[in-house]
Amino acid sequence: MANKEGVTQNILVQQVKGAIPSVGQYDSPAARLFEHLAAQELNDLEYFKLLVTSHMLTCASFLPTDVDQQIRLHAWMRANHDDTLEMAQFILNEVAHWDHRKYSRRFVTSNDRYICGHHGEILTIITGAYGRLQMFASKEARSMQEKILDFIRASILMQEAFFKSLHHDGKAMLEACAAITHNCGDLDRSCDLWQLELLGLRHAARPGGALVHIGELYQLQLTVAGTKTSMALENHRHYALRQVPALRQNPVLLMPTAPFLDAWGALLQTHLPEIGIFLEERFLHHREGISYARALCGMNWSIARQKTPHLIQRPQPDPKTKTLRKLLSMSQNEFETRCAEQALTFIRGRHG
């Protein structure tokens, strides 16, 4: 499989190590399995495991591997009956139980539980197994499909219960809605790919769905320092940061959920202070979003000042520069409190 279609094993390994050079230092089953598979000559099943492991390790990094279509569709279509069952077991019994916080900063915790975008990645992969199993008539295939449906149903219920557990934490609700909406969207796209309905389990975050209020919160317009934004707007792919290879050298610099980047900015000031000018230029020349301004704020407040020297030197600030000044003058607590209050107001109104 490794040399038939898609990316070859050697190139994939190089891509992962380019995205996260310190992968060998990660204390996680995913990293250990990747290191083991990377050094072996792989059969079809092992290559599938390498694809999945590579995706899990890098999808929250600045340079994710491009194997989505492989793990959602093509690898499944190449698999025979027995391999499909074993691949599905690998996802359900191993990948679903990995602690993905080892290689991501975009997660939310509550009462010793957490949720992140990796839960959606798992949904989209296992939906591929369900679609492929439709093509086999065995009892084993039907039994595995039932297990997959149970898993997907349990995942949606878990995400709903997790969101409800956040109670009065508006900031956590905003972070969680970004992950959950992403996860439901992943499930929808995989169902589209396989032309599946999955017994009504899809469209959970769309109108009429079980998690529709979470999807609405994701789109909610937030107003901060006279600037309008939303979680949907802030959580684009941040392709610009791929231009900064130094960000990939230290796992502590993995980006958290936007726009709450003040703490990340403080880390940048410690480990990569020269990125400040790059972030400022990106903010000033990007039409929408305030994420990079909040990262700059974290950098500035970490050294006990509110404005960068080169900003002060601008003789005739344009409107975007004035907006940046306003955002830089707002503390992390003030910024997060304003966002949280708007989220809570929306949720309370949504539930009467």
2 located within any domain? no
Q: What pLDDT score does 318 carry?
A: 64
Look at residue 314 and tell me whether its pLDDT is greater than 50. no
The CA-atom distances, in angstroms, between 257 and each of 100, 291, 341 are: 15, 9, 18
Label residue 102 by pLDDT band (50, 70, 90). Answer: very high
Task: Say whether both 205 and 229 belong to one domain.
Answer: no
Mean of pLDDT over the chain:
89
Task: Say whether both 149 and 27 belong to one domain.
Answer: yes
Sequence-separated (6 or more) residues with CB below 8 Å from residue 37: 46, 49, 50, 53
Task: Say whether both 101 and 211 belong to one domain.
Answer: yes
Look at residue 283 and tell me whether its pLDDT is greater than 70. yes
For residue range 177-227, list pLDDT tens digits in order. 999 999 999 999 999 899 887 656 666 656 666 588 999 999 999 999 999
Look at residue 313 and tell me whether its pLDDT is greater than 90. no
**Across residues 51-55, what is the average pLDDT?**
98
Label residue 63 by pLDDT band (50, 70, 90). Answer: very high
Q: What pLDDT score does 303 carry?
A: 72
Please answer whether residues 339 and 222 qualify as being in contact, where contact means their C-beta atoms are separated by less than 8 angstroms: yes
Look at residue 352 and tell me whether its pLDDT is greater than 70. no
Among residues 168, 190, 219, the one where a domain terminates is: 219
Task: Say whether both 199 and 240 belong to one domain.
Answer: no
Domain count, the chain: 2
Look at residue 311 and tell me whether its pLDDT is greater than 70. no
18 located within any domain? yes
pTM (two decimals) = 0.91
Task: Say whether both 249 and 215 belong to one domain.
Answer: no
Q: Distance (Å, rounded) from C-alpha 322 to C-alpha 303?
A: 21
| Nearest in space to 240 (alpha carbons), one of 285, 185, 307, 175 | 285
Q: What percent of the chain is modeled with pLDDT above 90?
A: 74
Q: Distance (Å, rounded) from C-alpha 295 to C-alpha 272?
A: 12
Among residues 219, 252, 276, the one where a domain terminates is: 219
Q: What pLDDT score does 211 carry?
A: 81
pLDDT top residue among 268 and 309: 268
Label residue 310 by pLDDT band (50, 70, 90). Answer: very low
For residue range 326-340, list pLDDT tens digits in order. 888 899 999 999 999
Range of the domain at 153: 9-219
Task: Say whether both 163 and 48 belong to one domain.
Answer: yes
Q: Residue 80 has which token pair?
A: 């025979």
Among residues 193, 219, 245, the one where a domain terminates is: 219
Please answer whether residues 10 and 41 qualify as being in contact, where contact means their C-beta atoms are separated by less than 8 angstroms: no
274 located within any domain? yes
235 located within any domain? yes
Task: Say whether both 257 and 308 belong to one domain.
Answer: yes
Task: Say whether both 163 and 309 belong to one domain.
Answer: no
3 located within any domain? no
Choose the weakest-confidence range: 109-113, 167-171, 281-285, 335-339.
Answer: 281-285
128 located within any domain? yes
Task: Say whether both 233 and 150 belong to one domain.
Answer: no
For residue range 236-263, list pLDDT tens digits in order. 778 889 999 999 999 999 999 999 999 9
1 located within any domain? no
**Across residues 72-94, what is the average pLDDT?**
97
Task: Say whether both 197 and 321 belong to one domain.
Answer: no
Look at residue 315 and tell me whether its pLDDT is greater than 50. no
Task: Say whether both 294 and 161 belong to one domain.
Answer: no
* Opening angle at CA 172, ends 171 and 176, nearest 5: 120
For residue range 117-165, list pLDDT tens digits in order. 999 999 999 999 999 999 999 999 999 999 999 999 999 999 999 999 9
Task: Say whether both 210 and 231 belong to one domain.
Answer: no
